[in-house]
Structure 1
Amino acid sequence: MKLIEITKEQFADFTNDFENVHYTQITGMEELIPLRGNEYNYLGLEDDQGQLQFATLLTRVKLRLGQSFVIKTGPLVMDLLNKDILPIWLTELKDYAKREGALDLYFIPDLPQKIVSESNTETLNKDVIDNISSQDFAYESLGQGIDQRFENWVYKKDLRGLTEQTLWDSYENNARHSIVRAEKYGVKVRPLAYDELDKFKDVSEHTAERVGYNNKSLEYYQTVYKNAGNRVKFLVAEVNFKKYRDNLLQIRADLEKEVAEIDLHLEKFPNSRKKINQKREYLSQIEAQQNRIDEAEQWVIDSKGEESTVLAAGMFLYTKNTVYYLLSGSYDHYNKLNAPFLIQHRIMQEAVNNDVEIYNMLGIDGDFSGADSIYEFKKSFAGYAEQKVGMFHWIAQPLKYKMIEGLKEILGRN
């Protein structure tokens, strides 16, 4: 067997035949790599009969003094437990990195090392870690936290065998209540067209500023939209604030009607403890409803006559058996409307109806104490946490690498 460079068409033909393809390895997503100033190649492992056995996308990360090679979530269809093929693959890969002048090589498989659910913790793939490490790769894994270099913890939900009803029944109470409230408030979810992607950028930028991470550019979203085709969906949750306000007014009127009927009863039975307590509860609800109405009146003014206002958004990408929740954003001043919950419900409804097996909600930090609000949000949809095996690192040019690391230390750079 030997490692060869293959064409985009060969890569596409190969990847389209397989189900377990990570979203970063589908044709079209490689067009994002140049946006970060890097380059890429398609690689394959060819057998003695000229048949392609494995394929992967390799990223060439530009450095000040050279380049790093990165294989992330590949290779496709390779059994990393196969002790006969794995050394061939890694040896060929290291030889290729040397020939191409790479400083080092990072190998990041898409495999779990731990699965954590409400009822169980399972450890997996220790043999894979040992097998790759035995080929002179240094191993790195992060117990807790989010690492920008590789997926550490993700959150998934198994959709196999679910209907819309059993999907709904599987959610925790918090998610169900939030979805019901969003629908009651008149929140609607719809896909964005290409020329509306600025709406997605605006809401994601608002979120990025709030939580302190770097937002993607409009060009990034446009590139995904154009190259991923019908695999990608940009969804927004919107509301018409005039209708929302009118709905609140009707709810208040219904509550006032209940109070009026209780007053009639109390005229005849003034000491009815049950009715007195009911009236107190309804009056409390009316006061809370009036606060919402006052807030809604301001939102109507702020909307400046727009038919609908964006509350939250999500970006999703389909592979053959998985839908990935890639990016999202929400306006925090509209949090009470629970729009993000409704977006999640809609994409999972669609996935179930299209026989998608897994919903991958991607990053969490592995903190299960209740302190991680992102994890708590995702957990309300009742899935499981999965820790990836981590990252393997091989140095192609040890002397140069040591020199660069020494310079970094002198200059105080990471």
Structure 2
Amino acid sequence: MTMDKTDKTETSMTYEIVTITPEEFDEFSMHHPQGNFQQSLGMVNVAKHHADAFDFVGVRREGALVAACSIAYERGGFGERGYIWLGPLCDAHDEGLLATMTDGIRRSARRHHAVSVICWPNLVYQQRDSQGEPDGTPDDASLKAYESLGWRHAGFTRGYGAVVNRWVYVKDLTGLGDGPALMKSFDKRTQWSVKRSLSMGVRVRELGIDELDVFEKIETATAERRHFRGRGLEYFRQFKQAFGDKSHFMVAEIHLDEYLADMTAKRDALKAKVEGLQAKYDERPTTRIERQLGEEGRNLAAAEKRLAEAAEFAKDGDVLPAAASLFVEHPNEVVYLFSGSVERYKPFYASALIQYEAMLHLCVERGVNRYNFYGIDGIFDDPDDEGRGVLEFKQGFNGNVEELLGEFTLPVDKLRFGVSELAHKVLKR
């Protein structure tokens, strides 16, 4: 990995392009309104395992840093390409600032002999409600600002992104001061799922770095079931090492002893109630008692069935990992990044409980008001869509949708870029 030394070039009376240190960049990200974990030193340390080089470009105004980004350079078929994940961190409505930032990115790319630079600004193009309906006006000004400087927009795509998602689901936690208030903010079905999980002996804890194989096993099985690429144990270890205590690998485990004890007590109580009602009915049969007896008899049968199922689960062990999720902290938000669940334990609703615990302990208790569920595919009108289950799960927590500006490409070496574009078109035929 290579990093350039400071290279200041005055571009106007107001702004100057500077190459900043990794530490300056990270500090800037922590305080900028567009700052996020993708534009952080933690992500640089994760990506250094596959990137060839990094550069940290900034713009100063009167000595103060006002825009910045990290650029990862990776080799491609026609040369190096630069990648700016969820950046640059720059006010796109300030034309002079964005122009200077673009110039700084172009100069960095030329020093690295890059063909082009691709960026995904952390900017909302259109706010939407939970059902995907527009809320307010789109930010066409930012789109036009990028395009006017030579950035080529990839279009208003739907579906999951290969690198960065254009559609995300978020929840505003402002004003939710404790667990009961948080729970009440969910829809009724999700409230029931969380409470049900708690009542079934499911408990959430954080995994240590030496336990990440538990996380990886669940994530890999889920990837195979849902047909996406798993990251692998080494990646998760690298992520934990890079982000340290800002990353949280959490697992929801079923404690069979608690569940069996609870279900046994409920079964015994129902059995006693049914026996009491039967005695009353035998002594003096009435329609009301007959109705109660039928209802409680069905409840008893359901309890017996759950106990039998629990006995089968007990063959798997005493404590059963049912779901796992990775959460990443940034001062602006907590991001729900990766997850997986064990299909066999779906009736325990462990995935819903993990979300509640993460929101409560990582956000509500720490005063972080933004919880980012991350990607959805942006398709709201197709009940058969492959991403429907993910969307409905996240909608159950009553948040809203953000449609981001999307992907832009800045050609740097126009000859090689043109040849590359032509080759891609030929291969798609």
User: Does the pair score TM above 0.5?
Assistant: yes
In the other structure, the counterpart of 2:160 is: 146
TM-aligned CA distance change 1:73 to 1:62, over 3 Å? same
Deviation at 1:110, TM superposition (A): 0.3
Alpha-carbon contact 2:201-2:255 (below 8 Å) kept: yes
Q: State how 1:237-276 maps to structure 2 within 5 Å.
A: 237-270=252-285, 272-276=286-290
1:61 equivalent among 74, 90, 94: 74
In the other structure, the counterpart of 1:43 is: 57
1:393 equivalent among 394, 409, 421: 409
Alpha-carbon contact 1:18-1:320 (below 8 Å) kept: no
Q: State how 1:10-409 maps to structure 2 within 5 Å.
A: 10-18=24-32, 20-47=34-61, 50-76=63-89, 78-118=90-130, 121-122=134-135, 123-164=137-178, 165-270=180-285, 272-303=286-317, 306=318, 308-350=319-361, 351-369=363-381, 370-371=383-384, 372-409=388-425
Deviation at 1:235, TM superposition (A): 0.9
What is the one-letter code of the residue matched to 1:71? I
Size of the aligned set, in residue pairs, is 407
Distance 2:114 2:262 in 1: 63
Which string of whole-angstrom CA distances, capped at 9 and with x for unpartnered residues, describes residues 143-193 of structure 1? 421121332110000011212222111110011100111111111111111
Which string of whole-angstrom CA distances, capped at 9 and with x for unpartnered residues, describes residues 41-84 of structure 1? 2221234x5543322111112202201112221223x2110122
Deviation at 1:359, TM superposition (A): 0.2
Distance 1:392 1:254 in 2: 63
3-state secondary structure, aligned to 1:113: strand
TM-aligned CA distance change 1:118 to 1:402, over 3 Å? closer
Alpha-carbon contact 1:19-1:320 (below 8 Å) kept: no
3-state secondary structure, aligned to 1:403: helix
Distance 1:14 1:110 in 2: 15
Deviation at 1:301, TM superposition (A): 1.3
Deviation at 1:33, TM superposition (A): 1.1
> Which stretch of structure 1 is more off in the superposition, 323-332 or 78-87?
78-87
Which string of whole-angstrom CA distances, capped at 9 and with x for unpartnered residues, describes residues 334-353 of structure 1? 00000011111111111111
3-state secondary structure, aligned to 2:158: coil
TM-aligned CA distance change 1:103 to 1:72, over 3 Å? same
Gaps of at least 5 residues in structure 1 are none
Over the aligned positions, Cα root-mean-square deviation in angstroms equals: 2.0
What is the one-letter code of the residue matched to 2:288? K
Alpha-carbon contact 2:80-2:112 (below 8 Å) kept: no
Residue identity over aligned pairs, in percent, reads 27
Distance 1:206 1:134 in 2: 45
3-state secondary structure, aligned to 2:41: coil
Deviant stretches of 4+, over 4 Å:
none
TM-aligned CA distance change 1:30 to 1:138, over 3 Å? same
Which string of whole-angstrom CA distances, capped at 9 and with x for unpartnered residues, describes residues 228-250 of structure 1? 12211111111222332232222
